[in-house]
A and B are shown apart, each in its own frame.
Chain A
Amino acid sequence: MSFDDIKQLLTEKFGDTVITGEETTGLQPALLINPDDITAVCLELRNNSKTYFDFLSSLSGVHYNDETNRYGVVYHLASIPYKTQLTLKISKPHPKESSELPEFKSITSVYRTADWHEREAYDLLGIYFEGHPDLRRILLPDDWEGFPLRKDYQNAEFYKGIRID
């Protein structure tokens, strides 16, 4: 199924609001999805016999660091029966210096791959995934402060009383 067919399929199923835009400038086109619908969209793309995107290659959290301080998640899906690939993107603005984390819906119920990848995005970028079964830090220690891959991250000077050089 081509990129446009997938777009049409999703619009027919979920209405016009599900796709908020598309990026076609690069080598791989990407669909921008409404963040609230991402779990349903992934489930539909996985189960629909015309698409069968059954393999989640990668899930990356992104901090865009633009005027609205957007946070986003990029999903790279692959279909094993049809040998195709698809990129989905969700993002939403988040106030700077907020004491809350940006929140997105978890897709762990669709792809178990997302389990550890979402934990990694939570760990390094501070993105909270609603509905994740076990959202703990995965790579950094549990008591680490801050989220290193955020663009405004300041390197810590001390870790447990030990100076970091």
Chain B
Amino acid sequence: MVITNPKYEEALLRYNKKIADASVEDMILNVGPQHPSTHGVLRLELITDGEIVKEVIPHIGYLHRCFEKHAESLTYQQTIPFTDRLDYLASMNNSHAFVMGVERMMGIDKDIPKRVEYIRVLVCELNRIASHLIAIGTYGIDIGAFTPFLWCFRDREHIMGMLEWASGSRMLYNYIWVGGLFYDLPVGFEERCREFVEYFKPKMVELNQLLTDNQVFISRTANVGVLPLDVAINYGCSGPMLRASGLKWDLRRIDNYSAYPEIDFEIPIGQGLMGKVGDCWDRYKVRVDEIEQSLRIVEQCLDRLQKELKRTPDFDPRAKMPRKTIPKAQDYYVRCEGAKGELGFYFMTDGKSEIPTRVKSRGPSFNNLSVLPELSKGVLIADLIAIVGSIDFVLGEVDR
């Protein structure tokens, strides 16, 4: 089968011509794919006029593994490790979303024991803290502050250690399974987690003093890369990116899934304290505030897990696991709030096999990154780095 129609090649030729023309009049500058401030293997092709960025053309796909093809050839349970590799900084959130979708299609989402739900929320929120710590730390290093990076990684290490204790691996956990969990939490986990929360709270104050209120940092980020709310919605931005533009939109509250309806937390939004609403500083600040809210969620989960949902010797986290995962024939789109934004999985099932006929994953980073060309028209190259850092994408999820 040879595809011949010349109109399919038009866009590529147009792009090639644009680059050829630009290299005569302006300068073409490649940032990445091996540049530390692109947070992975992202290549940005800049058309620049001196220090001014005229246009940004992102090139993605260096990390493409075709997750969707894998998901269409493996059973649901076997796909969970692959979901871990989408947003590898917040793997728990990915598998939670995937598993929730399968459970709802199977009709067993109401049977999941409360203790399992609370453990899921606990590990997801710990993972969200870890992910935001990376976002903050690497954002600091992008614009010249080295210390916060080390401090953030030091604190993240405690979370990594705890999650390793629970699941057996440091980043790619495969901990949340359809119908339950891999294992119950290890004995003593709750106590150690509480110790961590107590240890971590003053560290956040230190971090705020070091970075959030730092005048150099504010000068670099305030009023830079302002994302208006209508543009953010039209481009499908979600998560901290959308909230920084001033909209209270958090799927944990909108959809009220898992144990979140019973948990009390606030939704921080960007207020434009240092500049305009939706600038880089707001996006950074929303993440800092979200860490504090996540800590509140973790504490409430620990309260419940240590009191009425205490571990019992006969508790089996795999008790509700279905023998065969064969959902009825249907289409289902599940969405939940990952660390970066709205994480969605679209399933098409035929009702006969354990393998879905089509899976599409909607990565939040993919949509958040697509607004970059719009955000960075006419900015300085140095500001572009600040904008890229504030988007906080993970290439594992952009490329899938």
- Where the two chains meet, the residues of A that have a C-beta atom closer than 8 Å to any C-beta of B are 23, 25-28, 30, 54-58, 60, 62-63, 74, 76, 80, 83, 85, 87, 97-101, 111-113, 115-116, 124, 126, 128, 132, 134-142, 148-149
CB–CB B234/A80 < 8 A: no
Known: A101-B5, A149-B68. A80 touches B233 (CB 8 A): yes
CB–CB A28/B69 < 8 A: no
CB–CB B346/A76 < 8 A: yes
Interface pairs (11), CB distance under 8 Å? A55-B233, A56-B236, A76-B362, A87-B333, A99-B4, A100-B3, A112-B236, A113-B234, A113-B236, A116-B367, A128-B8
How many B residues touch A, CB cutoff 8 Å?
50
Contact of B235 among A97, A113, A141, A149 (CB under 8 A): A113
- Where the two chains meet, the residues of B that have a C-beta atom closer than 8 Å to any C-beta of A are 1-5, 7-8, 10-12, 14-15, 60-61, 64, 66, 68-69, 72, 104-105, 231, 233-236, 247, 249, 254, 328-333, 335, 342, 344, 346, 348, 358, 360, 362, 366-367, 370-371, 374, 399-400
CB–CB B69/A148 < 8 A: yes
CB–CB A139/B64 < 8 A: yes
Q: What are the residues of chain B within 8 A of A23 when measuring CB–CB?
A: 331
Q: What are the residues of chain B within 8 A of A141 when measuring CB–CB?
A: 61
Q: What are the residues of chain A within 8 A of B249 when measuring CB–CB?
A: 80
Residue of A60, A87, A132 with most partner-chain B CB within 10 A: A60
Give A109 Cβ to nearest chain B Cβ, in Å.
11
Give B333 Cβ to nearest chain A Cβ, in Å.
5
Chain A facing B: main interface SS: loop
Contact of B60 among A30, A74, A135, A138 (CB under 8 A): A138
Please give me the residue from chain A that is nearest to B105 by CB atom. A27
- The 10 closest A-B CB pairs, nearest first, are A26-B330, A113-B236, A60-B360, A139-B61, A58-B362, A139-B64, A116-B370, A135-B11, A112-B235, A136-B11
CB–CB B66/A148 < 8 A: yes
CB–CB A76/B66 < 8 A: no
Please give me the residue from chain B that is nearest to A119 by CB atom. B11
Known: A76-B344, A101-B3, A112-B370. A139 touches B399 (CB 8 A): yes
CB–CB B69/A149 < 8 A: yes
CB–CB A99/B3 < 8 A: yes
Contact of A138 among B3, B61, B329, B362 (CB under 8 A): B61
CB–CB B370/A139 < 8 A: no
Q: What are the residues of chain B within 8 A of A101 when measuring CB–CB?
A: 3, 5, 8
Q: How far is the CA of A57 from the CA of B336 in the complex (A)?
A: 11
Chain B facing A: main interface SS: mixed
Q: Can you name 16 extra interface pairs (CB under 8 A) apart from A27-B332, A85-B333, A139-B400?
A: A25-B330, A56-B236, A57-B342, A74-B331, A87-B333, A98-B1, A99-B2, A128-B7, A135-B10, A135-B11, A136-B11, A138-B60, A139-B61, A140-B61, A140-B64, A148-B66
Contact of A28 among B247, B328, B332 (CB under 8 A): B332
Please give me the residue from chain A that is nearest to B249 by CB atom. A80
Q: What are the residues of chain A within 8 A of B235 when measuring CB–CB?
A: 112-113
Give B65 Cβ to nearest chain A Cβ, in Å.
10
Q: What are the residues of chain B within 8 A of A58 when measuring CB–CB?
A: 333, 344, 346, 360, 362
Q: What are the residues of chain B within 8 A of A100 when measuring CB–CB?
A: 3, 5
Q: What are the residues of chain A within 8 A of B2 when measuring CB–CB?
A: 99
Q: What are the residues of chain B within 8 A of A27 when measuring CB–CB?
A: 104-105, 330, 332
Known: A58-B362, A116-B366. A134 touches B234 (CB 8 A): no
Please give me the residue from chain B that is nearest to A96 by CB atom. B1
Q: How far is the CA of A60 from the CA of B399 in the complex (A)?
A: 15
Q: What are the residues of chain B within 8 A of A140 when measuring CB–CB?
A: 61, 64
Q: What are the residues of chain B within 8 A of A148 when measuring CB–CB?
A: 66, 69
Q: How far is the CA of A54 from the CA of B230 in the complex (A)?
A: 9
CB–CB B105/A54 < 8 A: no
Q: What are the residues of chain B within 8 A of A149 when measuring CB–CB?
A: 66, 68-69, 72
Contact of A62 among B3, B7, B330, B358 (CB under 8 A): B358
Q: What are the residues of chain B within 8 A of A87 when measuring CB–CB?
A: 331, 333
Please give me the residue from chain B that is nearest to A135 by CB atom. B11
Give B319 Cβ to nearest chain A Cβ, in Å.
24
Q: How far is the CA of A142 from the CA of B374 in the complex (A)?
A: 23
CB–CB A134/B61 < 8 A: no
Please give me the residue from chain A that is nearest to B61 by CB atom. A139
Give A93 Cβ to nearest chain B Cβ, in Å.
17
Please give me the residue from chain A that is nearest to B344 by CB atom. A58
CB–CB A57/B330 < 8 A: no
